[in-house]
Structure 1
Amino acid sequence: MHVSQTDIAYDPQDVGRAIRARRKKLGYTQAEVARFNQCSIRFLSELERGKEGAGIGQVIRIMNSLGLDLATLERE
């Protein structure tokens, strides 16, 4: 498995920043990503801003659609 870049998310804002950065890097609008993932633009916007309360299943689906993985790492 090749990992090109690893960032650790410590809070919802970190996750939102990663999703926004990847979406923009791929050249997608929020509307396109929302439509593809069958969610509202408002949901995606709030997710990108790090608003708490987003359903983890939907977050993982959006991340997967943008080529992002959600990983768990053990801390020492």
Structure 2
Amino acid sequence: MSAVADAETFGALVRAERKGQKLTQEQLAGLAGVGVRFLRELEAGKESCQLGRALQVAHTLGLVVSVNTRRELRL
């Protein structure tokens, strides 16, 4: 599991998974129903990317996004 604390880290994880699946940005954008520009900005860590669309891309790649409290992580 990778802890994500900022948009840059999330974007890097998306990029790494996309490349691991040997998908181009254009292919992933088409599969996820988002624009190539959005995907480029997401992978670059643009902080104003829409959360819903970012989650859509993650889901398309098979990434599971979960949120835990710091208290839960200490257990």
Equivalent position amino acid for 2:12 in 1? R
Number of residue-to-residue matches in the alignment: 71
Structure 1 residue runs without a partner (length 5+): 1-5
Which sections of structure 2, spanning at least 5 residues, go unmatched? none
What's the TM-score, normalizing by structure 2? 0.90
Q: Which runs of 4+ in 1 moved over 6 A?
A: none
Greater helix content: 2
With the length of structure 1 as denominator, give the TM-score of the two structures.
0.89
Q: 1:53 maps to which residue?
A: 48
Residues 17-75 of structure 1: CA deviation (Å, up to 9, x unaligned): 00000000000000000111121111100000000111111111100110101101110
Cα RMSD over matched residues?
0.7
Alignment identity in percent? 32
